[in-house]
Amino acid sequence: MDKLLIRGGRRLAGELTIAGAKNAALPELCASLLTAEPTILRNVPKLQDVATTLKLLRHLGVQVERTEADPHTVTLDASHISSTKAPYELVKTMRASILVLGPLLARFGTATVSLPGGCAIGSRPVDQHIKGLQAMGAEIVVEHGYIEAKAPLNAQGQRRLRGARITTDMVTVTGTENLMMAAVLAEGETVLENAAQEPEIPDLAELLIAMGARIEGHGTHRIVIQGVDRLHAPAGGHRIIPDRIETGTFLCAVAAAGGDVVLRQAQARHLDAVIDKLREAGVTITTGDDWIRVQAERRPTAVSFRTSEYPAFPTDMQAQFMAVNCVAEGAAKISETIFENRFMHVNELIRLGAKIEVDGHSAMVTGVERLSGATVMATDLRASASLVIAGLVADGTTTVDRIYHLDRGYDRMEAKLRSIGADIERVSERASA
């Protein structure tokens, strides 16, 4: 198992390039199941969740091409599918595997997908995905840990979903994506009310439209889809948007450690809420069409925030911003409204000397002048990132253990941090033994 060793106290300076968005790549890789023609995706990040998704798609019979020469371009050919079952062994490590359910059911009329189960940040049910597919006429049985779904028979005796009006009980990102992918091949019109507006949804919609889908309203709370008989290859392929959470993570790293860094291939307009809060904290942020410059020359001021659906402050940035508040001047309240258990990083930050008190869904953080390096354990993806940020400012050495969580969602985070001056190295178990 790999660890990160961080010697804190270095100012960060230079430039780095932001990778493609994990949370856009995962549904878009699954969207390749919707057509018999090859789908080319560009700017695919090189990270563990993408590798897991590709493994699952290969298991289903999708031919995947990704060359060493250009690992960020992936060609997926789902012309011959060998299975419509996503087994537990492949689903258990990644909740986003549920995203094969909508496309499989829409194109093949049948799908069996393991329930993804809970995870460190909360129970994360998929009842809204199931409810939406049932509204489209699917018969769904949940048995022995699997969702077994069949589309209804139409007048021609084919199994095909029917368009429906669906209002989810809450805003769900992967739920909206799954239902949108199911609806593009359904018969008739589907209206998704209370749809998620996260930038990954319009990006997926753009890919589907390039494949021949008829979608309107993506990026709003009401998405209207007219089903078509078949989809084709997206002409020229599709380029995945930059990762707004990776971007925000580096912004927070500079805010906490101090420095002057330019992030290339970054979209500031996807990060308004985080950038506003960083400015409130005293950080200087300048933006252009595809770059963001962050300058932090003095200790930040603690700022309060509340996570919520896009365009509000993203839950996926809560842990990293908490690390900034840990070393800021003053005290601030952080409220988490999306997941019931997303404060797993708090105890580890406290091990580094942070002053945090959790009360239900809120955490009161009182900034301290210095953190002190220690061994800490990553518990989930963004918790890991917050520990790395804290390690960058802590005195002495911080060891972050269990970084397989970090590797799920970041493309060479330590290499990127090293390139802007951080003293950080990856140590594998064997090398450290």
Ligand X SMILES: CC(=O)N[C@H]1[C@@H](OP(=O)(O)OP(=O)(O)OC[C@H]2O[C@@H](n3ccc(=O)[nH]c3=O)[C@H](O)[C@@H]2O)O[C@H](CO)[C@@H](O)[C@@H]1O
Ligand Y SMILES: C=C(OP(=O)(O)O)C(=O)O
The residues that touch ligand X, with contacts defined as CB under 6 A, are: 23, 26, 95-96, 122, 124-129, 170, 172-175, 315-316, 338-339
Q: How open is the CA angle 209-70-64, to the nearest 5 degrees?
A: 60
126 is in an annotated binding site: yes
Question: What's the CA gap between 44 and 24, in Å, rounded?
Answer: 9
Q: Are 28 and 207 in contact (CB under 8 A)?
A: yes
124 is in an annotated binding site: yes
Q: At what angle do helices 22-31 and 244-257 cross, to 10 degrees?
A: 170
Q: Are 185 and 210 in contact (CB under 8 A)?
A: no
The site for ligand Y (CB under 6 A) is made up of 23, 95-96, 316, 381-382, 409
Question: In terms of CB distance, is 63 or 341 closer to ligand X?
Answer: 341
Shortest separation between residue 26's beta carbon and ligand Y, angstroms: 7
- Which residues participate in catalysis according to the annotation? 119
3-state secondary structure of 63: strand
Shortest separation between residue 394's beta carbon and ligand X, angstroms: 26
Question: In terms of CB distance, is 2 or 336 closer to ligand X?
Answer: 336
Instruction: Name the binder of 382 from ligand Y, ligand X, none, CB < 5-8 A by kind.
Output: ligand Y
325 is in an annotated binding site: no
Tokens of 278: 């960083």
Shortest separation between residue 188's beta carbon and ligand X, angstroms: 23
Question: What's the CA gap between 393 and 299, in Å, rounded?
Answer: 11
Exposed (0-12), middle (13-18) or buried (19+): which is 380, by Cβ within 10 Å? buried
Shortest separation between residue 68's beta carbon and ligand Y, angstroms: 26
23 is in an annotated binding site: yes
Measured from each CB, the residue nearest to ligand Y is 316
Question: In terms of CB distance, is 23 or 114 closer to ligand Y?
Answer: 23
Question: In terms of CB distance, is 14 or 125 closer to ligand X?
Answer: 125
Question: What's the CA gap between 97 and 146, in Å, rounded?
Answer: 13
Q: Are 409 and 24 in contact (CB under 8 A)?
A: no
359 is in an annotated binding site: no
3-state secondary structure of 425: strand
Annotated binding site for phosphoenolpyruvate: 22-23
Annotated binding site: 22-23, 95, 124-128, 316, 338
Annotated binding site for UDP-N-acetyl-alpha-D-glucosamine: 95, 124-128, 316, 338
